[in-house]
Structure 1
């Protein structure tokens, strides 16, 4: 296998292909800049999420390990998928080795699938927390959550494995340019779309409808009685391990996770719907190529949105992010009303509380 050098006729044909697209140079540069910034923000934001969950006491509940694994999947999308997709888009052909095309496509499906399976697992975790609060709160240990995360990745791997053994390898198109494409057989497209998106989506929607029904039932009360804001037999304030109250449900976190799931569906539904539709009726349902690519890239942008959602909608994450940023960029952004406390993680480490100017 060889790389294609700039001096080769293949490079010239690739440049000609880019010219045929009719994209202005400024538009290409703007697109490349925007995606590079999104990629960097994805890496930075999700690293911040991981640090926050692992180091802040009020975020160390075992259920938040799902968010750590989800953030790791988004970081992998930004480091192993988006750069090669961007290069492929800008150059108009697959520049890299054929074997990497196979790995890249499998990883692309793996990380996308793992993201939605993580969200599916999170929704089931929320459902159990609100339907069996006391029992589930005592059973939900870090070890069991880690086991569930392993199952999530195994399911994702099973769905993403077929591209490695059943795909059209890198081949030349009609212009003599190498392209890296998944198997375009209708069976594989429907299999991957249903397994990677539609089935988990349906599960999440049904689970969250049930969560809403249970929450509504628990918060409804007869006139003259105080309203219950917890879903269980124990009032808020009694603490279990890892700071989880025995009600088992933080309504704010449930809302934030619902927003995360909703945004994921909005970002990825157009791509999977059009991808499946074009497989079923390729002649009559074909979308304009720019629109299909827009749907494709909007899906990738989802990896950058979760840290933003946590920041906007969850006070605990805002507090954690501020503390982390204060420790690292204090001269620029922070004013210290400083007090130091011993950290539970290391006798030599201190936690600094501070206020950010925004």
Structure 2
């Protein structure tokens, strides 16, 4: 009986002289991830709930990604910190299995959500009708429920092989006992899934590049029509209308709220109608001063083009951070089949994956004006009671 108890304790230990000092760095790093990730992801969810400008179909996917990160940071990360600090798993074996399942579930749903974000961005700029069908309110609910259900069904069968893994000092599936099923899951989830995300962003980049060229042609055509109106203005204006309609359809990529995009489109088109129905004044014909209507349409197009790049850059950055945080760990596990690599290297690459669960809110704050304003509003409201206390004191 005593021998069995000692064997169990040894199986739940990851002690090694090589990581005895490193564990304190890992514990501090884990605490920073827990605090930053919990506060940041919770603020993302609250911002979506309280700011009407953020309640869009696209941001539903952002909130789902925040929920998976919050699950990891708030519930799972503290147990990882404890195991690193004491170099052993101090909870029950049952919770070790639950922990391993939840970690795999969180990672899998994150990958699915990144795929849906990339797909939604591509459909919105390239195939708007299909976007409205696939990412309707009912479609979004179905997609998100499917992501969680599929992930649970995929990793649920590994219940018997979730164990404490000494190399990474945390609970996960056994490296060899779950093969080849685990190999197939990892290949499908990381290689196929993330490759699809990369392909969608390449398509988005190509489409935005074509749209940018079209906008430049529109500006040139608009300036020419203002300076030298010709009898063929009717034909030229119809082509300009087409460019404006396309650019406004893509503007919804950044605006988030579809109604706002439609208003900007209607505004630009009405400005063009004014140019067609009213003869230009002397001020209009005097180069290089354009009309107010032209300035408004130019301003709208410039903002649309600029924000299209911003939102695409933000989504791409979120995806790249996910890839960069996991690629070293995956490459090490793939290359070191015989477990010859130092335990310190395994633990460091595992700690690097923790970054993914807390970095997204920081990216939203830096790269998205609406999220930044919503975060500021939440922090201001949270600080109000302390402000009143300092005034009375």
Q: 1:95 Cα shift?
A: 2.1
Q: 1:204 Cα shift?
A: 0.4
TM-score after normalising by structure 2: 0.70
In the alignment, what sits opposite 2:301? none
Q: Deviations over 1:295-350 (max 9, x none)?
A: 1111112110000000011111111111111112137689xxxxxxxxxxxxxxxx
Match of 1:213 among 195, 203, 206: 206
In the alignment, what sits opposite 2:113? 118
CA distance in 1, matches of 2:89, 2:249: 59
Matches within 5 A, 1:73-84: 73-84=68-79
Q: 1:48 Cα shift?
A: 0.3
Match of 1:278 among 315, 325, 336: 336
Q: Are 2:279 and 1:225 aligned?
A: no
Q: Are 2:88 and 1:34 aligned?
A: no
Q: 1:195 Cα shift?
A: 2.9
- Runs (5+) with no aligned partner, structure 2: 223-239, 266-303, 389-393
Larger Rg: 2
CA distance in 1, matches of 2:245, 2:106: 35
In the alignment, what sits opposite 1:294? 348
CA distance in 2, matches of 1:16, 1:116: 31
Give SS of 1:93's match.
coil
Is the contact made by 1:197 and 1:272 (CA closer than 8 Å) also made in structure 2? no
Q: Deviations over 1:9-64 (max 9, x none)?
A: 6899799973633523xx53343223112101111100000011121111111121
CA distance in 1, matches of 2:370, 2:190: 30
Q: 1:193 Cα shift?
A: 1.7
Q: Deviations over 1:196-216 (max 9, x none)?
A: 311111110111111111111
Matches within 5 A, 1:193-342: 193-221=186-214, 224-225=220-221, 231=246, 243=259, 245-246=261-262, 251=308, 252-279=310-337, 282=338, 286-330=340-384
CA distance in 1, matches of 2:151, 2:55: 25
CA distance in 2, matches of 1:12, 1:138: 55
Q: Which has the higher helix share?
A: 2
Number of equivalences: 317
Q: 1:91 Cα shift?
A: 2.3
Is the contact made by 2:14 and 2:87 (CA closer than 8 Å) also made in structure 1? yes
In the alignment, what sits opposite 2:101? 106
Match of 2:87 among 60, 70, 92: 92
CA 1:40–1:234 in 2, change beyond 3 Å: closer, same or farther? Answer: closer
- Runs (5+) with no aligned partner, structure 1: 335-358
Is the contact made by 1:168 and 1:183 (CA closer than 8 Å) also made in structure 2? yes
In the alignment, what sits opposite 1:184? 175
CA distance in 1, matches of 2:260, 2:35: 33
Is the contact made by 1:230 and 1:236 (CA closer than 8 Å) also made in structure 2? no
Is the contact made by 1:130 and 1:214 (CA closer than 8 Å) also made in structure 2? yes
Is the contact made by 2:119 and 2:200 (CA closer than 8 Å) also made in structure 1? yes
Is the contact made by 1:219 and 1:230 (CA closer than 8 Å) also made in structure 2? no
Structure number with greater CO (CA < 8 Å, separation at least 6) is 2
CA distance in 2, matches of 1:140, 1:34: 38
CA distance in 1, matches of 2:170, 2:311: 43
Match of 2:48 among 49, 53, 57: 53
TM-score after normalising by structure 1: 0.76
CA 1:120–1:235 in 2, change beyond 3 Å: closer, same or farther? Answer: closer
CA distance in 1, matches of 2:205, 2:136: 25
The alignment yields a C-alpha RMSD, in angstroms, of: 3.7
Give SS of 2:159's match.
helix
Give SS of 2:221's match.
coil
Q: Are 2:60 and 1:69 aligned?
A: no
CA 1:183–1:9 in 2, change beyond 3 Å: closer, same or farther? Answer: closer
CA 1:319–1:95 in 2, change beyond 3 Å: closer, same or farther? Answer: same
Match of 1:20 among 6, 17, 22: 17
Q: Deviations over 1:108-161 (max 9, x none)?
A: 111011111111111011111011135634763322212211111122213322
